[in-house]
Amino acid sequence: MRATTSAAHLLVIVLGQSVAIASTSEDAAFLEEPLPSEDVECVELLQSKLDLVQLEPPAAVAASYEHPPWLNQCKQIYLDVGSNIGVQVRKLFEPEKYPGALILPLFEKKFGSAEARRVDGKESGICALGFEPNPNWEGTLQALESEFQAKGRLVHFYPYAVSGSDGTALFQVSDSDDLKDWDANVTGLVQVVESRNVTVKKIDFYRFLQDLPRASVVKLMKMDIEGSEWDTLARLLPANGLCNDRIEEAFIECHPEKGSAANWKGNRSFEVLANRLTQQDCSDGPTVMSDLDDETYLDGVHYDWRAAKTD
């Protein structure tokens, strides 16, 4: 059994450098003996596997998000997951431009009056953080960021696709003037006419949420990511990632016919999502979730009465 013991000790050396590997002089002397050939092969195989899987340290992952410098001043966060051209963020700060928009009462409930929301963000602690990987809208969102930050509003858009894991994804976009506002998505989730594929960075959304300042709370989150919600939710729910103490309230557009169900493992419906929310281990209850879908003013200018119908 000495060969088994030596292999176990060597595994400790490889996987846990801070753990003592020899508790007695006998152990220490034993480890100086040549390894049997089968143990050498075992350790070499293990090392080859470790060389293939190099995990980034948490600090490196966090740094890769390129957070805005004022993030630690955020106390009340609106997460706009699937920002498109940023209309929902404009509704948060400029509701008077969007009469009849379905989201306006919820913004007032969670963040106060329009006047309160327009107080300098470093004083109010209100921040809007968006996600939009579509390169067609990068310039538009950067301009919106600059405009609002010049007015003291803490707004930032991350150019990432939200997912259940870190990596890259092919993202399907359309350059047609008639279509480019609609249904940009991770390739394979749905077919868009007149489209092209671009490679974008995708992030583990759970890990991103864990990286937000601990003194902050997400007062409201919107998620409209054209089918990628199922993979993202499959990561969040088992990790108790949709609890009231971190995300108070959220609204989501579910896409039953889009996205992969490989990790979701079940019917893709709001009803199933609502049931799984309650199965989390949340100290203060789960995130309050609704299936509100506010696509009024999709182009940022014109009111669409069809998108305001709730029946």
Domain boundaries, the chain: 2-52, 68-308
The more confident residue out of 254 and 4 is: 254
**Which range is least confidently modeled, 18-32, 45-59, 132-146, 294-308?**
45-59
What pLDDT sits at residue 213?
A: 95
Axis-axis angle for helices 37-52, 2-15 (nearest 10): 20
The average pLDDT across 30-36 equals 45
Could you give the percent of the chain with pLDDT greater than 90?
62
What pLDDT sits at residue 283?
A: 96
What pLDDT sits at residue 180?
A: 46
**Which range is least confidently modeled, 50-59, 74-83, 93-102?**
50-59
Q: Edge-to-edge, what's the strand order for the sheet holding 167-174? A: 161-163, 195-204, 167-174, 185-186
The more confident residue out of 84 and 304 is: 84
The more confident residue out of 41 and 70 is: 70
Query: Taking all residues of the chain, what is their mean pLDDT, rounded to a whole number?
Result: 80
At 193, the pLDDT band (50, 70, 90 cuts) reads low
The average pLDDT across 85-96 equals 97
For residue 192, pLDDT over 90 is answered with no
**Which range is least confidently modeled, 65-69, 117-121, 188-192?**
188-192
The average pLDDT across 175-201 equals 61
For residue 191, pLDDT over 90 is answered with no
**pTM for the complete prediction?**
0.76
